[in-house]
Structure 1
Amino acid sequence: MIWNTMMGTSILSIPWGIKQAGFTTGVVILFLMGLLTLYCCYRVVKSRGAIPFTDTLTWEFPDVCQYYFGSFGRWSSLLFSMMSLVGAMIVYWVLMSNFLFNTGKFIYNYVHHVNVTDIGLSTNGSDKVICPTTGDTPPSNQTVDLTLGNRTDFQQFQMWWSKTDTVPLYLIIVLLPLLNFRSPSFFAKFNVLGTVSVLYLVSLITYKATRLGFYFNFRWNEIGEYFVPDFRLSFPQLTGILTLAFFIHNCIITLLKNNRNPENNIRDLSVAYLLVGLTYMYVGVMVFGSFPSPPLAKECIQQNFLDNFPSNDILSFVARIFLLFQMMTVYPLLGYLVRVQLLGHVFGSIYPGVFHVLGLNIAVVGVGVLMARFYPNIGGIIRFSGAACGLAFVFVYPCLIHMIALYRSQQLRWYSVIIHVSIIVLGVGNLVAQFLM
């Protein structure tokens, strides 16, 4: 359950993050961030038990923050929780626009027998990999070589089926009504789609890697632009992504609350983090390592690695279909959590009125549409939102609460202060570094 909940859209940006950090540095950072976030999550789970003379069985982590920090803890935890949820919904909207665009493009080209060539360098063979753009600009997925079909109709299709101009608006028709449901129980039934999507992605990556092979060359003088660096100064971009990739701290108490054997909570949490870390490591290393040799450089790896496969790749088309339907069922669940936390705190009711709910949903959807239109960079969105919400829930609050609890019980030691203050400093540095890279 924890593995299924934690696995999300960040998995698509892990290979790009490793590219930004350098291969060796990226692998080490992924391992260390997994351990660090696991420890902080452990501190969250243990935070209720340190409160004396109070029944905390029904408490969530924001309640613990309110106990220690008063109204500031309550409202600040709400703010950062909203940042994580809304940030996830924005990433979902950008990705759903991407998947819907590529799905529609594949279907149109197949039905109308249109043969097109994607912009940019590419490899040859049946397992083609493309470099649609250079740098970190999202790929436009435009087409240039029209060999079959009616050119006028194709141009009309491109005008009405644009990744940034029209497709994000089409999603409103489907998703905005779904956000207004009173209960998310219907969408919760499709939670298994998340597991199926991740398993299919892993299978796709394994198949492509066996077909493409691996390419590494760490000797700069011999290989020039195809050199694979061990370290890059832009490594904080990966730490920002991983903060959100391993983020489950605001709901871990809820997930473990109904565990049949509560004494196994820490074991289950550790196993879940191990599985998530291994999944991220496998995806990141396999995609990075199997990315082809010249004429393509590792720098071509996109923020969404599926964009490195051409629009007519059938296996990638199936992956996008899986992910699109999964996200369309998870998106209303995220919207429900936003409604519960925000309206519940402000109005004391999760459904104070139809206009309150509709206004909130329009605002959230509007932000997603604007980001999909003007800043469709999922890597950037993930790392900024991850570093921001992680500052409070991953680094600051768990460490401060633990030190305060030790101080009140007269068990606080100097080495514990150094360790936990250092973790807080790392969290602050992680956020600041996102604006410098």
Structure 2
Amino acid sequence: MIWNTMMGTSILSIPWGIKQAGFTSGIILILLMGILTLYCCYRVVKSRQMIPLIDTSNWEFPDVCKYYFGSFGQWSSLLFSMISLVGAMVVYWVLMSNFLFNTGKFIYNYVHDINVTDIVPGTNGSNKVICPSAASGHLPQNRSVVFSADNITGFTLFEKWWDKSQTVPFYLIAVLLPMLNLKSPSFFAKFNVLGTVSVVYLVFLVTVKAAHTGIHLEFNWFTENEFFVPEFRILFPQLTGVLTLAFFIHNCVITLLQNNRNQENNVRDLSIAYFLVGLTYLYVGVIIFASFPSPPLSKECIEQNFLDNFPSDDIMSFVARIFLLFQMMTVYPLLGYLARVQLLRQFFGNAYPSLFHVLALNLAIVGAGVVMARFYPNIGGIIRYSGATCGLAFVFVYPSLIYMISLHRAGQLTWPALITHIFIILLGLANLIAQFLL
């Protein structure tokens, strides 16, 4: 359950993050961030047990923050929780627009028997890999193709009304906004298994593609060229920002573990879940990066969503986008429900005070998604900014501060514990600052 919940959209940006960090340092950072976030998550799970003389069995982590920091802890934890939820929903909207666009494009070309030849730089053959960024400076987004078809006017009209950023993000409103206004999204929770199926299929896709392309790594330090693979890059904080959200489950881990039949196994189950998540990220990230055909392409061509490196007429990528599109369309209302419950219950004492309140909140959230899909459809950037921001509070600061305060009150705080947890807080602060500097 924890693995399924934690595995999200970040997996699509891990190969891009490894490119930004460098191959060797990228692998090391995934391992270190996995260990660090696991420890901080462990501190969240144990935080309730360190409060004496009070029944905390029904408390969530914001309740613990309120106990230690008063109203500031309550409202600040709400703020950062909303950042994580809305940030995830914005990423979902950008990706759903991307997947819907490519799916519609594939279906239209197939139905109308349009022969599409990408002029975006890429490899040849049935398992083609493309470099969209190489053409972005001089080609319109939807006109990076030449085609052979009788009805050229129809194709041009389709391109006009089926644009990745101009029109498709708005089409999603008609489907998803009514879903967000439902009082209970329990129907969509039944489709949670789609998340597992999507991730398993992505692993299968990555394996098959790598088997066809082979491994392309060149570590020759003395003859550097455009195909040279750096083992370390100064842009590595961009990966740590992505990983903060990729390993983020701290604001709901207590709720998830409450359903565990054997509560004494919580730490074991949490550790296993983090191990599996880290292993999945490592496998997908390393395999995509290592098998990316360089030459003839450069590793710099790896996109923030690695599925964009496969053309829209690729069958396996089409299936992956279909899986992910339906998964995200079922998860999106659940995220909206969590945001509604946390925000409106704090302000009005009721998760559904009226249709007007709910509609106003949902319009604001949907509007943020549409604006980002229209003007800043960079999921890697959105993930790392929101991840580093909400992670500063829930991953690094609050768990460490609460642990130090509880030890101090019990007279058990030692210098090694103090120095270690201050260092963790400083790492979180540096992680956030670095996102805006690089």
How much has 1:141 moved relative to structure 2?
A: 5.3
Q: For the residues of structure 2 that align with 1:140 and 1:44, how far apart are their CA atoms? A: 45
Which structure 2 residues correspond to residues 193-342 of structure 1 after superposition, within 5 A? 193-222=194-223, 224-342=225-343
1:3 aligns with 3
Deviations 1:204-234 (A, max 9, x none): 0000001110011011443511000000000
Which structure 2 residues correspond to residues 381-400 of structure 1 after superposition, within 5 A? 381-400=382-401
Deviations 1:233-283 (A, max 9, x none): 000000000000000000000000121000000000000000000000000
Q: For the residues of structure 1 that align with 2:136 and 2:38, how far apart are their CA atoms? A: 30
Q: For the residues of structure 1 that align with 2:159 and 2:117, how far apart are their CA atoms? A: 14
How much has 1:135 moved relative to structure 2?
A: 9.9
1:360 aligns with 361
Q: Is 2:142–2:163's contact at 8 Å kept on the other side of the alignment?
A: no
Structure 2: 5+ residue runs without aligned partners?
none
Distance 1:383 1:141, change over 3 A: farther
1:185 aligns with 186
Q: For the residues of structure 1 that align with 2:245 and 2:411, how far apart are their CA atoms? A: 34
1:55 aligns with 55
Q: Is 1:14–1:241's contact at 8 Å kept on the other side of the alignment?
A: yes
Amino acid at match of 2:146: D
Deviations 1:94-136 (A, max 9, x none): 0000000000000000111111223421101111000011399
Q: Is 1:86–1:338's contact at 8 Å kept on the other side of the alignment?
A: yes
1:94 aligns with 94
1:121 aligns with 121
Q: Is 1:216–1:289's contact at 8 Å kept on the other side of the alignment?
A: yes
Q: For the residues of structure 2 that align with 1:273 and 1:112, how far apart are their CA atoms? A: 46
Q: Is 1:118–1:141's contact at 8 Å kept on the other side of the alignment?
A: no
Computed over aligned residues only, the root mean square deviation of the Cα atoms, in angstroms, reads 1.3
Q: Is 2:121–2:134's contact at 8 Å kept on the other side of the alignment?
A: no
Q: For the residues of structure 2 that align with 1:333 and 1:174, how far apart are their CA atoms? A: 14
Amino acid at match of 1:413: T
Deviations 1:273-307 (A, max 9, x none): 00000000000000001100222011100000000
Amino acid at match of 1:380: G
**Pair 1:428 & 2:429 matched:** yes
Matched length = 437
Q: For the residues of structure 2 that align with 1:63 and 1:432, how far apart are their CA atoms? A: 28
Deviations 1:348-381 (A, max 9, x none): 0000001000000000000000000000000000
Q: Is 1:89–1:368's contact at 8 Å kept on the other side of the alignment?
A: yes
Amino acid at match of 1:4: N
2:133 aligns with 133
Q: Is 1:139–1:307's contact at 8 Å kept on the other side of the alignment?
A: no
Amino acid at match of 2:133: T
Q: Is 2:121–2:135's contact at 8 Å kept on the other side of the alignment?
A: no
How much has 1:184 moved relative to structure 2?
A: 1.2
Q: Is 2:216–2:295's contact at 8 Å kept on the other side of the alignment?
A: no
Which structure 2 residues correspond to residues 166-181 of structure 1 after superposition, within 5 A? 166-181=167-182
Provide the secondary structure at the position in 1 that maps to 2:225.
helix
Q: For the residues of structure 2 that align with 1:401 and 1:184, how far apart are their CA atoms? A: 33
Give the share of equivalent positions with the same residue, in percent.
73
**Pair 1:150 & 2:151 matched:** yes
Amino acid at match of 1:127: N
Amino acid at match of 1:412: L
Amino acid at match of 2:346: H
Q: For the residues of structure 1 that align with 2:150 and 2:300, how far apart are their CA atoms? A: 34
Amino acid at match of 1:289: A
How much has 1:332 moved relative to structure 2?
A: 0.2
Q: For the residues of structure 2 that align with 1:371 and 1:119, how far apart are their CA atoms? A: 27
Provide the secondary structure at the position in 2 that maps to 1:116.
strand
Q: For the residues of structure 2 that align with 1:342 and 1:279, how far apart are their CA atoms? A: 33
Provide the secondary structure at the position in 2 that maps to 1:55.
coil
Q: Is 1:302–1:308's contact at 8 Å kept on the other side of the alignment?
A: yes
Amino acid at match of 1:70: G
Q: Segments of 4+ in structure 1 off by > 6 A?
A: 135-139
2:372 aligns with 371
Q: Is 2:120–2:144's contact at 8 Å kept on the other side of the alignment?
A: no
If the length of structure 2 is used for normalisation, what is the TM-score?
0.98
1:80 aligns with 80
